[in-house]
Amino acid sequence: MGQVIQIDEGRIRDHLGEMVRGTVEEALNAMLDAEADRLCGAARYERSESRRDTRAGCYERALHTKAGEVTLKVPKLRRQTFETAIIERYRRRESSVEEALIEMYLAGVSVRRVEDITEALWGTRVSPSTVSSLNRKIYAKIDEWRHRPIEGDHPYLYLDGIVMKRTWAGEVRNVSLLVASAVNAEGYREILGICEGAKEDKSGWSAFLRHLVDRGLSGVQLVISDACRGLVESVAEFLPETLWQRCMVHFYRNVFSHVPAMKVREVAHMLKAIHAQESRQAAQEKAEAVEADLRRQKLTRAAELVAEHIGETLTYYAFPDVHWAKIRTNNPLERIMKEIRRRTRVVGAFPDGQSCLNLAAARLRHIAGSQWSARRYMNMEPLHAMQASSSGAVA
């Protein structure tokens, strides 16, 4: 048997990395020299009547690229400042590197992990202050996105809030983020807005809904949310023509809180049977039977909740049956809220409400630009046909 050849993959990888880094450095410096020649109107040491300037040496500058750190020899000119279109003045990192840092942070990578990753990839550690300064560049765009005009009708509007932690005078306090998503008239999902509220009360929800209406929110036929009193009252005030659907999942949880653990499964089947009926009348009749059954089992408080509030969960029956599964719960927005919580969990407590809002809004903007909003969520033709028939009947 011949000798076994052992390959040191690490040394090969390092050698290839050095070759790539050297090639990138050589190419960039050649481009800088060519640009200096163009500004001077002549090549180095060339005597020409068309020459407009002469060189005065160069200075070295480090630039972090995807291939690693390279050293640039930036030309200096005697009569004018050398401004290159290749690399912005004072830039220390390639734009793709900066974009990667921002994407890592917004995707949920902690600042400490960003430092480790950048050192492993590009051979240099990025400080937390650098990550913060890079993020400030996108916060202006995020604020513009939050205040953009809302165009077109949005028949189905989902509202929900999430509680985050913030530090205040050395204490950790709660801050609420209020979020709105919707399905537009073409059946595509949109994230309409997010704002900070001290808590999920009427004043917070009123300010948020006023913000949405002022930006152009219109055509809302159904609001889907939990039974937060301040939210419901604000909807009635700012969207008076709109119906309200109480999320049936949240309602189930309210009922389960008054049911012994051993009976939760049984009660869940009873409640689901209500929302499995083919019409609102049938669902109401089934609800009365469930209420009577709960009273027989001595589950008085659960029975009272069904009797008093089951009607709030049956509003969706007024809309096309092909939409029922997607408009009777707040699940479409709940998934987005889970994504916000997953992203913000690595931070813990925020230094202020604005930083919390910026990070959550940045994540929402990322989701809004993804396949989440590019896929058609509903076929809205049945709703349009229902509206046309109802308006014809009125006429």
The answer as to whether 334 is a domain residue is yes
The model's confidence at residue 93, banded by pLDDT at 50, 70 and 90, is: very low
Phi and psi torsions of 41, nearest 5° = 85, 10
Give how far Cα 250 sits from Cα of 206, 242, 310, Å: 22, 20, 12
CA angle 311, 313, 317 (to 5 degrees): 85
Encode pLDDT of 7-38 as tens digits.
Answer: 455 554 454 456 556 666 776 777 778 888 88
Q: Where is the domain boundary, 147, 162, 180?
A: 147
The answer as to whether 393 is a domain residue is no
Encode pLDDT of 175-226 as tens digits.
Answer: 788 999 999 999 999 999 999 876 667 888 999 999 999 999 999 999 999 9
Instruction: Report which residue type is found at 334.
Output: E
**What would the mean pLDDT of 341-351 be, rounded to a whole number?**
69
Phi and psi torsions of 172, nearest 5° = -95, 120
pLDDT at 90 > cutoff 60 = no
pLDDT at 395 > cutoff 70 = no
Question: Is residue 87 located within the same domain as residue 106?
Answer: no
Distance, in Å, from the CA atom of 159 to the CA atom of 224, rounded to the nearest integer, reads 6
Contact criterion met (CB below 8 Å) for 158 and 332? yes
Question: Is residue 173 located within the same domain as residue 244?
Answer: yes
pLDDT at 329 > cutoff 90 = yes
- Tokens 């051979």 correspond to 123
Question: Is residue 46 located within the same domain as residue 108?
Answer: no
Q: Which of 116, 222, 175, 225 is nearest to 351 (CA)?
A: 175
Distant-in-sequence, close-in-space partners of 156: CB < 8 Å, separation ≥ 6: 182, 183, 220, 221, 222, 224, 323, 326, 327, 378
The answer as to whether 120 is a domain residue is yes
Question: Is residue 63 located within the same domain as residue 51?
Answer: yes
**What would the mean pLDDT of 47-62 be, rounded to a whole number?**
82
The predicted model scores a pTM of 0.71
3-state secondary structure of 64: strand
The answer as to whether 354 is a domain residue is yes
Q: What is the DSSP letter of 93?
A: B
Instruction: Report which residue type is found at 369.
Output: G
Give the strand pairing for 68-77 and 156-168: unpaired
Question: Is residue 241 located within the same domain as residue 364?
Answer: yes
| Boundaries of domain holding 31 | 7-91
Whole-number pLDDT of residue 197:
75
The answer as to whether 140 is a domain residue is yes
| Of the listed ranges 115-119, 138-142, 159-163, the one predicted with least confidence | 115-119
**What would the mean pLDDT of 69-87 be, rounded to a whole number?**
76
Concatenated DSSP letters for 180-221?
EEEE-TTSBEEEEEEEEESSSSHHHHHHHHHHHHHTT-----
Question: Is residue 183 located within the same domain as residue 108?
Answer: no
The answer as to whether 308 is a domain residue is yes
The answer as to whether 394 is a domain residue is no
Instruction: Report which residue type is found at 118.
Output: T
Question: Is residue 120 located within the same domain as residue 177?
Answer: no
The answer as to whether 263 is a domain residue is yes
Question: Is residue 268 located within the same domain as residue 222?
Answer: yes
> In whole angstroms, what separates CA 252 from the centre of its chain?
28
Number of independent structural domains in the chain: 3
Concatenated DSSP letters for 138-151?
HHHHHHHHHTPPP-
pLDDT at 136 > cutoff 50 = yes
For CA atoms 298, 302, 305, 306, give the dihedral sign: negative
Contact criterion met (CB below 8 Å) for 283 and 289? no
Question: Is residue 299 located within the same domain as residue 250?
Answer: yes
Question: Is residue 189 located within the same domain as residue 255?
Answer: yes
Radius of gyration of the chain measured on its C-alpha atoms: 30
3-state secondary structure of 43: coil
Question: Is residue 240 located within the same domain as residue 285?
Answer: yes
- Tokens 């604005």 correspond to 354
